[in-house]
Every structure is written in structure tokens, then in C-alpha cells.
Structure 1
Amino acid sequence: MAKGNNTSNRNLYIWLGLLVMVILFFSSSQTYEQQSQISFLSRVLSGQPFAETLSGIQFNYAGSPVSMEAKGYFGFVEFFVRKGAHFLTYFILGGAGFLGLQYRINQMALTGLVSWLAATGYAALDEYHQMLTGGRSPLFQDVILDSIGAATAIILCIIVMLWRRR
């Protein structure tokens, strides 16, 4: 009975990974304007909390300046929301891939590598898909961020599994 439950859990992870891929594909099909969260953020953060603290942060991402001065308060906050979404979705994809494949491949390091390569490959294809969508720009830096999200989840899965084996 426990074995059947583990099999259904493994399949659940694969289905979760596929669901994330469908959501990412749909998201990449939308223009920036369709995805923009500026109006939502302006309602939720109407008092512009931490604006003074955030005003001291500035850096370049993909050759463009990221600061409150360059993007405005809500555009600056949205930048972090969007990049956080990149990291989180690929964190879920990498972790789900690892957990779903672990007992199929049966070798932790190989499972980690396959899961990471699959998530990174999907990130690259997703950025290519964005290139085909109007009003979107594919960024190599986003593929790197996505890859780091997937790797983080996979490494955490490996650490937890090794810890549980002790």
C-alpha cells in the first residue's frame, strides 16, 4: 500500500512540473502590457512603503538600469515581483522534476543533473517563445535566473534526502 502511495506522489510531482510548464507557456504568450502589475501594485502599495530605503538601490540588469529613478516606484517593485516569479516558478519546476524522476532514475546526482538540464532547457525555450511574442524581449539573464531557481530546489531536495537517510 505504501508503495502505491509513493508512486502516486511521484506522478503528482511530474504533473505539477507539467502544470508549471503550461502556466509558463501561457504567460510567455502574453505581452508585457497584458502581464503588467503596475495598476495592482499602485492600489496595494498606494503609500509607497519603503520608498526612501528602496531609492538607494540601483544596478544594471541585462544592460538596463534598475532603480526607482529609472523605473519609478511601482515599476521598480514590479521588477522584483517579476524576477521573483521567474525564480519561484523554476524552483518549483526543478524540485518537481527532481522528486518526480528520483525513483525512476535511481541515482541522485544523475537525477539532479537531468532535472536541472530539463528546467534550464525549458527556460531557454521559454525565452525563445517570448521572442516570438509581441512586446516581449528574451533575456539570457532570465535563463540564468531560472536555472538558479531550479538548481536551488534540486540542491535543497538532495540535502533533505541525504539528511533523512542519516
Structure 2
Amino acid sequence: MDKLKKNEKWFWGGVVLIELILFYSSSMTYKQQTSVPFLEKYVHGKPLKSSLSQIHFNYGGKEQSIANDGYYHFVEFFIRKGAHFGTYLILAVFLCLALYTYFKKNHFLNVFVPWLMTTGLAAFDEFHQGLTGGRTPSVTDVILDSAGALTGALIVVIITYFVIRHKNVKKV
């Protein structure tokens, strides 16, 4: 796993880049950030509308459904929440890889520390978003971000475990 140590600065660069993107994104108003006009212009015929119409659930104290939000806002909801989950998953992957050499002998810490750091960054990002006009911070989004981070950290630990195990089997 010397490659991980050798590339540590690149992993930290990935962390910084993602954080800059998140900071910029949470500085934008909803009107600046919405993808609804794009969806209305380029997604014709409202694909999967009948299937999506069957879906409704509560998220952050609000009912999410096509009936409540309209087709394009409902689709945008999934895009936005997928971006939350995915961005924090990637952030946790970079943090795990950047911190790997410090916690390589302790898989629990290799998951826990990056997950905790990423969750803290998610909470800060929601706070920052709350300072932006037309946006409200959401504890539910922090939970979603934290789940993405935990998933990313677990993926890294599982993959590195099997890579190391495979290397050790080859040596014998």
C-alpha cells in the first residue's frame, strides 16, 4: 500500500476540491441552482411519470410526490439528493485514502475518523447554506450526507482489506 502513501497529496487535493465545490454550491440560491428549467426544456414526455406517480414519502417533514411537487420538481429532488449522497461518498473515499497510512492497522478508525470528519463537514455546509438567501439548512440532508460518507468509507476499507489480503496470499 505504498502507492496510497505516495499519492496522499492527491487524495488531500481531492478533499479540498470537493469542499470548494460544496462551499460554492451552498453559496448559491435555489433559483441559481435549480435544474427544473433544464429538465422542462430537455426531458420531453415526462418519462416514467406513471411509475413515479406511485411514489410518495416524507423527507424532512415534507411530503415528496409528483402530486405535491409536480413532475420536474420531483425528479429534481432525486437528482439533488443523489448529488448529496454521492458527493459525500466521494469525499469520504478521498479522506479514507488520504488518512489510510495513519489508520491502516485499525479498520474501525479508518472508517470512523473519515466518516466523522465528513459528517462534520456536512453539518458545516448545511449551516453555511442557511446563511444563503432562499435556502434552509436541513438535518435530514446531514443524515443523508453522513450515510453517503459511511458508504464511501466502508467501500474503501473493504477494498483495501481484500487488496492487502490478496497481496499477502501471493507472498506465501
Same structural fold, with TM-score higher than 0.5 when normalized by the shorter chain? yes
The 3-state SS of whatever aligns with 1:65 is strand
Map 1:67-146 → 2, pairs under 5 A: 67-106=65-104, 107-146=106-145
Q: Which amino acid aligns with 1:165?
A: I
Separation in structure 2 between the aligned mates of residue 31 and residue 91 of structure 1, nearest angstrom: 24
The residue number in structure 2 matching 1:18 is 16
Separation in structure 1 between the aligned mates of residue 42 and residue 82 of structure 2, nearest angstrom: 18
Name the % identity: 44
C-alpha deviation, 1:9, in angstroms = 1.6
Q: Which of 53, 56, 61 is equivalent to 2:54?
A: 56
The 3-state SS of whatever aligns with 2:18 is helix
RMSD: 1.4
* 1:41 matches 2:54: no
Q: Structure 1, residues 29-49: CA drift from partner, whole Å, max 9, x if none? A: 000000000011112212110
After superposing the two structures, state which structure 1 stretch, 43-52 or 134-143, moved more. Answer: 43-52
The 3-state SS of whatever aligns with 2:100 is helix
Q: Structure 1, residues 108-132: CA drift from partner, whole Å, max 9, x if none? A: 3212211011100000000000111
Would the aligned equivalents of 1:62 and 1:139 in 2 still touch at CA under 8 Å? yes
Separation in structure 1 between the aligned mates of residue 13 and residue 140 of structure 2, nearest angstrom: 27
Q: Which amino acid aligns with 2:37?
A: S
Would the aligned equivalents of 1:102 and 1:108 in 2 still touch at CA under 8 Å? no
